[in-house]
């Protein structure tokens, strides 16, 4: 450990503000279950995320795996605020080892190295086929394409969007029901539900008696991209 790193005050600000993204060098932590997949979630290719480094919302070109965050306020799930300590300190991801608020050089060096993906972790051919099928049937590229068409094509585009949300929802149900996978692993295996991530497009879904209603989030509470989507319901 360098002298600079010894000056970390353990204030926890970096753990409270965000959670780490895993890199390929973190693979062993996941394989040995030092970090269980139920504590992780996947940001799929084409999703929008708030980038703390660039301080802007950006679309991810390739998928990323992150440690879960605590509720709405964010912050790493492994942070213990009472003791101001990392509860997995010996097994904390490479980004946490590299991060030091007074000197970002080590963090940025790591940031440019390849990120971990689900295909690095999963070896079961049936699960790999499942990921391919998910991408083929309900990709974020397709979702965004139809959301952008809502203003011009109205109901037809809304139905396409709802069809994608339904497929994503059904896939999650089938994975638990037929493959007997732990529901806690779903956000790692399939990414976050599209019914949640659609908020990045300024939209939200209300389910009533099995019917999905697609509506807009109030501009004042929306922190996402602007697609000029009008209020739309099915």
Any contact of residue 12 with ligand SF4 (CB under 6 A)?
A: yes
Q: Which residue in the set 9, 32, 73, 180 belongs to the binding site for ligand SF4 (CB under 6 A)?
A: 9
Q: Which two tokens stand for residue 70?
A: 């605590």
The residue count of the chain comes to 234
Any contact of residue 206 with ligand SF4 (CB under 6 A)?
A: no
Coil, helix or strand at residue 171: helix
Any contact of residue 39 with ligand SF4 (CB under 6 A)?
A: no
Query: Distance between CA 153 and CA 116 in Å, rounded?
Result: 38
Measured from the CB atom, is 67 or 138 closer to ligand SF4? 67
Any contact of residue 34 with ligand SF4 (CB under 6 A)?
A: no
Measured from the CB atom, is 10 or 73 closer to ligand SF4? 10
Question: Please, are residues 114 and 61 in contact by the beta-carbon 8 Å criterion?
Answer: no
Q: What is the maximum alpha-carbon separation in the chain?
A: 61
Any contact of residue 8 with ligand SF4 (CB under 6 A)?
A: yes
Coil, helix or strand at residue 212: strand
Give the torsion sign (CA, 172, 173, 176, 182). positive
Rg (CA), the chain: 19
Any contact of residue 128 with ligand SF4 (CB under 6 A)?
A: no
Any contact of residue 101 with ligand SF4 (CB under 6 A)?
A: yes
Measured from the CB atom, is 30 or 67 closer to ligand SF4? 67
Given the rule CB under 6 A, which residues bind ligand SF4?
8-15, 19-20, 67, 76, 78-79, 86, 88, 92-93, 96, 99-101
């Amino acid at each position: 450990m360098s002298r600079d790193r010894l000056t970390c005050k353990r204030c926890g600000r970096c753990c409270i503000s965000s959670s780490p993204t895993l890199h390929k060098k973190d693979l062993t932590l996941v394989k040995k279950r030092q970090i269980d997949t139920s504590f992780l979630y996947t940001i799929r290719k084409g999703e929008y995320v708030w980038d703390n480094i660039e301080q802007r919302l950006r679309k991810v070109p390739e998928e990323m795996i992150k440690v879960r965050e605590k509720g709405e306020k964010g912050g790493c799930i492994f942070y213990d605020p009472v003791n101001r300590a990392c509860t997995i300190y010996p097994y904390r991801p490479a980004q946490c080892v590299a991060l030091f608020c007074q000197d970002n050089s080590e963090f940025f060096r790591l940031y440019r190295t390849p990120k971990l993906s689900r295909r690095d972790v999963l070896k079961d051919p049936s699960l790999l086929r499942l990921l391919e099928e998910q991408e083929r049937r309900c990709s974020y590229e397709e979702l965004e394409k139809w959301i952008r068409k809502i203003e011009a094509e109205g109901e037809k585009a809304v139905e396409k969007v709802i069809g994608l949300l339904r497929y994503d929802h059904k896939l999650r149900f089938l994975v638990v029901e037929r493959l007997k996978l732990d529901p806690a692993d779903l956000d790692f295996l399939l990414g976050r539900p599209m019914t949640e991530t659609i908020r990045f497009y300024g939209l939200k879904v209300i389910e009533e008696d099995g019917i999905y209603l697609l509506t807009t989030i109030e501009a004042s509470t929306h922190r996402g991209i602007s697609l000029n989507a009008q209020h739309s319901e099915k």
